Chain A
Amino acid sequence: KQEVTQIPAALSVPEGENLVLNCSFTDSAIYNLQWFRQDPGKGLTSLLLIQSSQREQTSGRLNASLDKSSGRSTLYIAASQPGDSATYLCAEETSGSRLTFGEGTQLTVNP
C-alpha cells in the first residue's frame, strides 16, 4: 500500500526566508509527483507536477525536485511572502489514476 509522509507538519517562518518542504513516498513505481496548495475551506490548487523521468520542475519562486531512488521530493519556496501561507500537499501517482496524498505541511509566513 502506498504511503506518503510530509515533514514538518507545521512550519512558521519570517517573511523573506527561503524554505524547504519534504515529502517521502514508499512506492518506487511512481508515475508522477504533484504538489498542491490548500487554503482554509478551499480546494486544492495544483502547483507543480514532476514526471517520473524528470528530476525537477520550476514555477516562479517554487522549485520541486524528485529523487525516485530515495523516495523523496522537496518543494523549495524562495523569498517567502505572507501570501504563501497555506497547507502544502504532495501526492504520488502510481497506478496511472489515483493520487495518494500526504498529510500536508501547514506553512505560516509572518510579516
Chain B
Amino acid sequence: EPEVTQTPSHQVTQMGQEVILRCVPISNHLYFYWYRQILGQKVEFLVSFYNNEISEKSEIFDDQFSVERPDGSNFTLKIRSTKLEDSAMYFCASRERDRGLYSNQPQHFGDGTRLSIL
C-alpha cells in the first residue's frame, strides 16, 4: 500500500541553525500538510498546501517556517532559526483530491521526523 515517507527519522540540531524536514507524499495526492506533536501533547496543525501555495496556516507557523514543493515528489518544511521549543515530532500528511472542490478523503500520515534542538 502506498505510504507517506519522511526523512530523516531523527534530526539533532543546534539552536539557531536551519533545518529542513523532507517528505514524499503519496504519488497521486494533491493536498499536503505538516503537523507537529510536542512530547506528551496533542498533535497540532501547522500548514496545508495545495496547488503550489499555502491554503491555510496556524498561529504556530510564523515567519521562521516555510514550506516548498521543489519538484513533483518532495514536500519540505524549513525552520529557519530553530529554538528549543521547536523540539517535537513533525508529521507530514497527504490526501487525495475528490471530484469536488473539497476533499472528503482521509489524510494519510508519515512516521514522522523527531527533531531535537540542543
**Which of A's residues lie within 8 Å of B, judged by CB?**
31-32, 34, 36, 42-46, 49, 51, 89, 91, 95-104
Known interface pairs A34-B106, A34-B107, A96-B102; A44-B91 also in contact (CB < 8 Å): yes
Would A99 and B35 count as touching, CB distance under 8 A?
Answer: yes
Q: Chain A interface secondary structure, helix, strand, loop or mixed?
A: strand
Known interface pairs A42-B111, A43-B112; A97-B104 also in contact (CB < 8 Å): no
Docked complex: B72-118 residues within 8 A CB-CB of A: 91, 93, 102, 104-112
* Chain A residues with CB under 8 A of B45: 98-100
Q: Given A31, A89, A101, A102, which contacts B104 in the complex, CB threshold below 8 Å?
A: A31
Would A98 and B43 count as touching, CB distance under 8 A?
Answer: no
Would A95 and B56 count as touching, CB distance under 8 A?
Answer: yes
Given contacts A43-B6, A43-B112, A97-B48, 20 further A-B pairs with CB under 8 A are: A34-B106, A42-B111, A42-B112, A43-B4, A43-B91, A43-B110, A43-B111, A44-B91, A44-B93, A44-B109, A49-B105, A49-B106, A89-B43, A96-B102, A97-B31, A98-B48, A98-B56, A99-B33, A99-B107, A103-B42
CB-defined A-B contacts under 8 Å, sample of 15:
A31-B102, A31-B104, A43-B4, A44-B91, A46-B109, A49-B104, A49-B105, A49-B106, A95-B56, A96-B102, A97-B48, A97-B56, A98-B48, A101-B42, A101-B43
Docked complex: B47-83 residues within 8 A CB-CB of A: 48, 55-56, 58
B18 interfacial by beta-carbon distance below 8 Å: no
Most chain B Cβ neighbours within 10 Å, of A44, A46, A89: A44
* Chain B residues with CB under 8 A of A49: 104-106
* Chain A residues with CB under 8 A of B109: 36, 43-46
